[in-house]
Amino acid sequence: MTIKSMFLLALLALACTANAQEKQVPVYGEFGMGFGQTLFMGDTKAQLQQALGGSFNPGITGNLAMAFYYAPAKWKGLGLGSRIKGSIATSVEGDFGDSYFFNYYNLSASAKYYASKKFNRGLYGRGSIGFGQLTSKRANETTDEYVHQFAVGTTFTASLGYSLPLKHSAISLEAEFETSSRNGTVNGVGEQSIRSGQVGLNLIYSF
């Protein structure tokens, strides 16, 4: 499944969420945007150097996320649902003056809990676990040389945020930590576990 089709499925889920809310069903949707600092963990930098033929440091990414939660009042602030998040990297200059990119996304099961015991109101914590893909690329547009590395695996995300309730929605600011372990075949080495993460900050609209 491609990232485009995954986001289309998420949009469909959010549309269903909006329709459910009109019928007073306790389903909530959200859409978020933000930024983050990608982290390379373990020997990921060396693995990518082997795979791409050059070295670079992780850069800043733009984040885009969508989610929905089922959160009846009797659960007292707890919501269970699903979340999709994509992180698109800015270009980073590495060895030989080439441009390097490190993009990743994940689709996960997610739980969200509000300390106020009322969903979409006040301080909350979120935990998500799922699967996804990373794509790293080395590009030299002058010579039309492009080298890619792919990997697929699991991602865990932990977040802490605060929601300011509005009339029929809420605005939230959320700090997030993400860690991933994905498997990919590295040229000249074979199957490898590529570990990465992110520290990010997102602004979220919930309804």
Confidence of residue 74 (pLDDT cuts 50, 70, 90): very high
Q: Is the pLDDT of residue 145 over 70?
A: yes
Express each pLDDT in 154-202 by its tens digit: 999 999 999 999 988 999 999 999 999 999 887 767 888 899 999 999 9
CATH code, 162: 2.40.160.20
Express each pLDDT in 32-71 by its tens digit: 999 999 999 998 888 888 888 888 999 999 999 999 999 9
At 162 the pLDDT is 98
Give me the numbers of helices (H) and strands (E) for the chain, helices first please. 2, 9
95 or 103: which carries more pLDDT confidence? Answer: 103
Torsions phi, psi for 162 (to 5 deg): -140, 130
Assess contact for 125 and 40: CB atoms under 8 A. no
Q: What's the pTM value of the predicted model, to 2 decimals? A: 0.83
Domain that holds residue 18: 3-206
Number of separate domains in the chain: 1
- Give all strands (DSSP E) within 71-189, no chain letters: 78-89, 92-93, 99-114, 122-140, 145-165, 170-186
**What would the two tokens of residue 151 be?**
């990997």
